[in-house]
Amino acid sequence: MNWLQKVIGKEWNITPAGGLTGDAYIAERQDRRIFLKRNSSPFLAVLSAEGIVPKLMWTKRLENGDVLTAQEWLEGRELKPEEMQHHHVANLLNRIHQSSELLHMLMRMGKKAVTSDATYRDVAAWSRQNGLLDQYEEVGRALQVLKELLPATYHQELVVCHCDLNHNNLILTEHGDLYLVDWDNAMIADPAMDFGMVLKWYVPMNDWDAWLEQYGVERNDSLVKRMYWYLIADALHYINWHKTRNEWHKVDERLGTLRELLNTYQSHCY
């Protein structure tokens, strides 16, 4: 990390921050701490301006063309799973989905809206290519459900979606501020892709109506079908992804998730 100290100064103590890319660091000097990342998305500036991620302090272009960003370090913690039910999560998600600034920035970056038709074609083709239709009966059943439910996904307003809404990505500061981090998978899509993850994996079914009301929509059959459409499509995507990596224990885990989704979908929507 000598290159990094040349950029920000030798007086900083730098340690890796973890993560899959290995391009994130924590820099400390006396009682000051900052979060550094190489080649963050330009989207970060708008997220910071909107108060959705910790404040962006500065951006520097390196000699090799890489870009280094520094964000304010805030003392806090990841949300606990049961805290995903809290109204603050619903409010933050609604604010993200309603933000025209976030949407316009992703569009300026060249992001195209992800449609359910394209998602269905891709996951169906990938499943055939990987031989999953012959190997696992539930994959064929899932693709049939997706095909049947496609009309419920049409004519929806497409917004900026985070697409990885797990409790580890929500940071609660010691002052009570809530931030959503790790935007590498963001896309323009149906908001049901986001709130469906929260409801299915964190909120008891008896509390769905209250959570959705706080978020700003009313639960109905079409909304529930959209939720399950994206949850099933996501499960199929990861079954294929783990299959291509020969991660068979992960394939089995995702197959279990898919079976549970198909069963609960049938009980909800039939």
DSSP code per residue over 104-152: HHHHHTTPPB--HHHHHHHHHHHHHHTTHHHH-HHHHHHHHHHHHHGGG
Q: What predicted TM-score, i.e. pTM, was given to this entire model?
A: 0.87
Residue ranges of the chain that CATH labels 3.30.200.20 = 2-73
Q: What are residue 79's phi and psi, to 5 degrees?
A: -65, 145
What whole-number distance in Å separates Cα of residue 111 and Cα of residue 180? 20
What whole-number distance in Å separates Cα of residue 127 and Cα of residue 121? 10
Fold for 2-73, please state it: Phosphorylase Kinase; domain 1 (3.30.200)
Q: What would the mean pLDDT of 52-81 be, rounded to a whole number?
A: 90
Q: Which residue is associated with the tokens 């910071």?
A: 48
CATH label, 81-269, candidates 3.90.79.10, 3.90.1150.10, 3.90.1200.10, 3.40.50.2300: 3.90.1200.10
Give the per-residue pLDDT at 121: 97
Give the chain's mean pLDDT.
92
In this structure, the number of other CB atoms found within 10 A of the CB of residue 12 comes to 20
What whole-number distance in Å separates Cα of residue 168 and Cα of residue 106? 24
Instruction: Considering the candidates 66, 122, 134, 164, report the single residue annotated as catalytic.
Output: 164
Q: What would the mean pLDDT of 232-261 be, rounded to a whole number?
A: 96
What whole-number distance in Å separates Cα of residue 142 and Cα of residue 147? 9
Has 117 been annotated as catalytic?
Answer: no
- Taking only the tens place, the pLDDT of each residue in 112-159 is 999 999 999 999 999 999 999 989 999 999 999 999 999 999 999 999
Give the per-residue pLDDT at 6: 76
Percentage with pLDDT > 90 across the chain: 75
Q: Which helix (H) or strand (E) holds 187?
A: strand 187-189
- Taking only the tens place, the pLDDT of each residue in 13-60 is 888 886 544 588 889 988 888 999 888 888 999 999 999 999 999 988
Give the per-residue pLDDT at 192: 97
Q: Which residue is associated with the tokens 């885990």?
A: 253
Give the per-residue pLDDT at 235: 96
Residue ranges of the chain that CATH labels 3.90.1200.10 = 81-269
Structure tokens at 197: 């993850």
Structure tokens at 14: 């730098």
8-state DSSP, 237: H
Give the per-residue pLDDT at 66: 84
Torsion of CA 15, 18, 22, 25, to 10 degrees: -40
